[in-house]
Amino acid sequence: MTYDASTRQVRVRAPGKVNLSLAVGALAPDGYHPLATVFQAVSLYEDLTARPSDTFELTVAGPFAEGVPTDETNLALRAARLLAGHVGIEEGVRLHLNKGVPVAGGMAGGSADAAAALLACDALWQTALSREALAELAAQLGSDVPFALLGHTAIGTGRGHLLTPAMTRGEYHWVFALRAKGLATPAVYRTFDRLSGSTAEAEPQADLELMQALRAGDPAALGAVLRNDLEPAAIELAPELTETLAVAHDAGALGAIVSGSGPTVAALARGAKHALVIAAGLTAAGVADEVLCAVGPVAGARVLQTVRLGGDFEPGPLSPVDRA
């Protein structure tokens, strides 16, 4: 397949996420854990630019660039190759990633990279795949990749890749306490298996009270029912997370939870000013290597800009949060 090479550059933005609820079932014979999770996309972003190239290559910059692989193990490169093979593109692509989501922090930064690469290459190569077709490719790359395409708030079942958009109201203000040393997701799941034994549910279900809080737009009710079945395993591997959670609660957080497989701690605030108070408390206590504030829900992966020969460009849709 060939394409119109007048498109010289595509820029895409994809969000990180927080798991408002993560119910983990017992390890299945296929090697995966069944999940029932509620994702919320937040305003920490991966910005990815795609340009034509004879080869597949990736460069990385940004606040969380250190430690990101640029070889064939990188999810963005894997996504580009997967799409090329799927549609019969013989050319390569040059990807540049500006990384704003923590690495190995339980916020699906790598999955956001993959989603951004799928969307960027689809636009660059003018393959015109539907969102449904892109989501099917995304699911082959990882359980969180389809959600990075969808964004907003959604219920994930299966391995987390089967998504149902959730009805929500309002805006939620989050404080993220980051650790320089990440946690490996497989290690967290192995520890979960050891700790849970035979008590893990066979088919976990989404939390009804949490969904009611989201529909009501009630941050206090949401904070009271945040859940992560992986939190005990993450704490066993990184015991210092106990203090981080305690400081967040002492600062008045409506709820605090380890995000995904950790080690990032997510604290829910009453509003923007309260988020700054919680952030200051976490920083002063020295229980995080970095503290960031964000809001949710936000849109999933979106094309921000398409540049064509001659310098013309076509801007993509931008939400008010995207412009920040």
The pLDDT-based confidence of 5 (bands split at 50, 70, 90) is low
Residue at 324 is within a domain: no
For residue 263, say if its preceding peptide bond is cis, omega within 30 degrees of 0: yes
Please identify which of the residues 17, 113, 122, 229 carries the catalytic annotation: 17
Asked whether residue 11 falls in the same domain as residue 155, the answer is: yes
Residue numbers of the domain that contains 252:
172-296
CATH number for the domain spanning 274: value is: 3.30.70.890
- For residue 291, the one-letter residue type is V
Q: Does 247 share its domain with 310? A: no
- Whether the per-residue pLDDT at 316 is higher than 80: the answer is no
pLDDT at 317 over 60: no
CB 155 within 8 A of CB 38: yes
Cα 298-299-302 angle, rounded to 5 deg: 140
Residues 64-88 have pLDDT tens digits of 998 899 999 999 999 999 999 999 9
1 assigned to some structural domain: no
Provide the pLDDT for residue 178.
94
**Structural domain count, the chain:** 2
Residue 144 is a catalytic residue: yes
Residues 100 and 34 in one domain: yes
pTM for the whole thing? 0.89
Q: Count CB-CB contacts under 10 A for residue 273.
A: 9
Sign of the torsion angle spanned by Cα atoms 72, 73, 76, 82: positive
**322 falls within a domain:** no
Report the CATH number at residue 13. Answer: 3.30.230.10
Domain membership of residue 323 (yes or no) is no
Nearest Cα neighbor of 124 from 1, 12, 6, 7 is 7
Give the model confidence (pLDDT) of 29-41 as tens digits.
888 889 999 999 9
Name the catalytic one among 122, 144, 207, 229: 144
Residue of 5, 3, 135, 138 lying closest to 76 (CA atoms): 138
312 pLDDT exceeds 80?
A: no
- Tell me whether residue 54 is one of the annotated catalytic residues: no
Q: What is the mean pLDDT of residues 225-239?
A: 96
Residue 150 belongs to some domain of the structure: yes
pLDDT band with cut points at 50, 70 and 90 for residue 181: confident
Q: How far is CA 267 from the centre of its chain?
A: 16
In a shared domain, residues 134 and 193: no
Residues 161 and 196 in one domain: no
Name the residue with tokens 């591997």: 237
One domain for residues 26 and 144 = yes
CA atoms within 13 A on the CB side of 163: 25
Report if residue 193 sits inside a domain.
Answer: yes
For the cut 80, the answer to whether the pLDDT of residue 322 exceeds it is: no
